[in-house]
């Protein structure tokens, strides 16, 4: 499945005349959406826009809230190496680990070809791949699933369940997932976060948040014991439906793992730039 999906993604994105614009949008959605989410965890978080680099770093045990992203358009090999070195210096200055996000289609052709070697030379290891996706797909019908009810996250107990689902799905220690979400007022009000509940047990979750005129999908997760039942797609549709209805927005964006890509295509999202997540080498 990952190989077939990657081939399909490459064909789709290279045939689109809006390729670069959509890839820029994907990077800008990260920079915009992560600003609010990181500052929610720590009002004194490192949130800076440097030349070619966006820093969104809460120094949280929840690694997704520790982010550096390359933002230059059409960066060549020399500039790429310079930015990677700068990003590594920032990451090494932090107490907790995190990820460097590289949007492949923002690099020029030579830089894309040399990215693996440049990253390794800077002291980075590839953690996992993803892809940006977007679509003018809202509003969507209110979803139904015969085995689920949907509950908006409003209480600490519900937010705890949301955090634990993300820990289970992404392989984080439970305490780290909880550090990323528990106690947040934003996630109980400004984020349209939903649990998919089966027989009283939360089994999947998804959220949307308004970011720069789009509805940004974040932290979608399904418990490993309940995968391949359509739960993740159903709860994502619910978060999109309710977020779209509340905001009136018509365009949505997200960053998909390889496993999630086919699900989001069914909803109506179109892929743009491949994204590479890097962490510091040991």
Instruction: Read off the CATH number of the domain in which 205 is found.
Output: 3.40.630.30
Cβ atoms < 10 Å from Cβ of 154: 12
Please check whether residues 79 and 167 belong to one and the same domain. no
Domain assignment present for 127: yes
The C-alpha angle 217, 256, 158, rounded to 5 degrees, equals: 45
Please check whether residues 104 and 158 belong to one and the same domain. no
Please check whether residues 119 and 166 belong to one and the same domain. no
Domain assignment present for 262: no
Please check whether residues 111 and 79 belong to one and the same domain. yes
Q: Rounded distance, CA 186 to CA 209, Å?
A: 10
Please check whether residues 39 and 111 belong to one and the same domain. yes
pTM, full prediction? 0.91
Cβ neighbourhood burial of 76 (10 Å; 0-12, 13-18, 19+): middle
Alpha helices in the chain (DSSP H): 2-14, 19-41, 77-92, 109-122, 156-170, 174-181, 231-247, 261-267
Structural domain for 154, as ranges: 149-250
Element holding 194 (H helix, E strand): strand 192-198
Domain assignment present for 211: yes
Please check whether residues 175 and 99 belong to one and the same domain. no
Domain assignment present for 6: yes
Please check whether residues 12 and 107 belong to one and the same domain. yes
Please check whether residues 154 and 186 belong to one and the same domain. yes
Q: Rounded distance, CA 270 to CA 217, Å?
A: 14
Please check whether residues 6 and 112 belong to one and the same domain. yes
Please check whether residues 124 and 169 belong to one and the same domain. no
Domain assignment present for 143: no
Choose among 188, 185, 164, 186: nearest CA to 176. Answer: 164
The pLDDT of residue 70: 98
The pLDDT of residue 282: 83
The pLDDT of residue 11: 40
The total domain count for the chain is 2
Domain assignment present for 256: no
Choose among 85, 87, 92: nearest CA to 118. Answer: 85
Question: Could you tell me whether strands 270-280 and 99-103 are parallel, antiparallel, or unpaired per DSSP bridges?
Answer: antiparallel
Please check whether residues 108 and 52 belong to one and the same domain. yes
Expressed in angstroms, the distance from the first to the final Cα of the chain is 30
Q: Rounded distance, CA 71 to CA 89, Å?
A: 17
Domain assignment present for 137: no
The pLDDT of residue 18: 54
The pLDDT of residue 5: 34
Domain assignment present for 263: no
pLDDT along the chain (282 residues), means of 10: 36 52 97 97 96 98 97 98 98 98 97 98 98 97 96 97 97 96 96 98 98 97 96 98 98 95 96 97 90
Kindly state the DSSP code that residue 107 receives in the 8-state scheme. B
Please check whether residues 10 and 112 belong to one and the same domain. yes
């Amino acid at each position: 499945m990952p190989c077939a999906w990657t081939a399909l993604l490459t064909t789709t994105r290279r045939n689109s005349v809006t390729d670069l614009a959509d890839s820029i949008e994907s990077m800008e959605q990260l920079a915009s959406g992560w600003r609010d989410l990181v500052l929610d965890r720590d009002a004194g978080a490192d949130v800076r826009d440097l030349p070619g680099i966006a820093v969104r770093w809460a120094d949280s045990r929840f690694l997704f809230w520790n982010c550096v992203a390359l933002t230059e358009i059409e960066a060549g090999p020399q500039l790429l190496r310079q930015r990677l070195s700068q990003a590594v210096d920032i990451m090494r200055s932090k107490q907790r680990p995190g990820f460097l996000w590289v949007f492949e289609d923002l690099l020029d052709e030579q830089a894309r070809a040399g990215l693996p070697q440049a990253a390794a030379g800077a002291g980075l290891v590839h953690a996992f791949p993803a892809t940006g996706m977007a679509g003018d797909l809202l509003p969507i019908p209110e979803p139904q699933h015969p085995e689920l009810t949907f509950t908006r996250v409003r209480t600490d107990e519900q937010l705890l369940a949301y955090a634990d689902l993300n820990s289970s799905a992404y392989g984080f220690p439970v305490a780290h997932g909880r550090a990323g979400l528990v106690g947040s007022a934003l996630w109980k009000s400004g984020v349209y976060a939903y649990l998919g509940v089966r027989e009283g047990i939360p089994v999947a979750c998804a959220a949307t948040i308004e970011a720069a005129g789009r509805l940004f999908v974040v932290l979608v997760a399904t418990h490993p014991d309940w995968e391949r039942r359509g739960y993740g797609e159903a709860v994502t549709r619910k978060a999109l439906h309710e977020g779209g209805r509340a905001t009136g927005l018509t365009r949505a964006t997200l960053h998909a793992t390889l496993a999630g890509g086919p699900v989001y295509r069914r909803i109506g999202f179109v892929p743009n730039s491949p994204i590479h997540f890097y962490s510091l080498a040991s």
